[in-house]
Amino acid sequence: MKTTGLNFRHLYYFWVVAKEGSITRAAERLDVAIQTISAQLGLLERSIGKSLLAPQGRRLVLTEAGRIALGYADQIFLLGEQMQEALMSSDIDRAMRLTVGISDSVPKLISSRLLEATLSLPEPVKLVCYEDNFESLLGDLSVHKLDVVLTDRPVPSGTTLRVFSHLLGESEVMLFGVPELARKYRTKFPSSLNGAPLLLPTRNNAVRGRIDHWLETHEVRPNVVGEFDDNALLNTFGRSGLGLFPASSALVADVEKQFGAIPVGELAQVREQFYAISNERKIKHPAVEAILSAIHGKVFAAHRRS
pLDDT at 195: 96
Residue 3 lies in a domain: no
119 versus 10: the higher-pLDDT residue is: 10
Domain count along the chain: 3
Statement: residue 301 has pLDDT above 90: no
Residues 176 and 269 in one domain: yes
Residues 279 and 154 in one domain: yes
Residue 2 lies in a domain: no
DSSP-assigned states of every residue in 23-76: HHHHHHHHTS-HHHHHHHHHHHHHHHTS--EEEETTEEEE-HHHHHHHHHHHHH
Q: Which domain covers residue 64, as residue numbers? A: 8-88
Instruction: Provide the CATH number for the domain around residue 53.
Output: 1.10.10.10
Residues 186 and 280 in one domain: no
Positions of E strands within 104-222: 125-132, 148-151, 164-177, 197-201
Residues 133 and 114 in one domain: yes
Angle, CA of 150, 104 and 137, to the nearest 5° = 55
Residue 1 lies in a domain: no
Q: Which helix (H) or strand (E) holds 274?
A: strand 262-278
Statement: residue 306 has pLDDT above 50: no
What integer is the mean pLDDT of 14-24? Answer: 89
Statement: residue 119 has pLDDT above 90: no
Residues 193 and 267 in one domain: yes
Instruction: List, for residues 251-284, the tens digit of each pLDDT value.
Output: 899 899 999 999 999 998 899 888 889 887 776 7
Closest CA to 166 of 262, 285, 45: 285
Q: Where are the alpha helices (DSSP H) in the chain?
A: 8-20, 23-30, 34-48, 64-88, 108-115, 134-142, 179-186, 208-217, 231-239, 252-259, 286-294, 298-305
Closest CA to 18 of 59, 76, 77: 59
Residue 269 lies in a domain: yes
What integer is the mean pLDDT of 182-189? Answer: 94
Instruction: List, for residues 79-103, the tens digit of each pLDDT value.
Output: 888 887 777 765 555 667 888 999 9
Residue 281 lies in a domain: yes
Residues 34 and 177 in one domain: no
Residues 157 and 176 in one domain: no
Instruction: Provide the CATH number for the domain around residue 108.
Output: 3.40.190.10
Instruction: List, for residues 227-260, the tens digit of each pLDDT value.
Output: 998 888 899 999 999 999 999 888 899 899 999 9
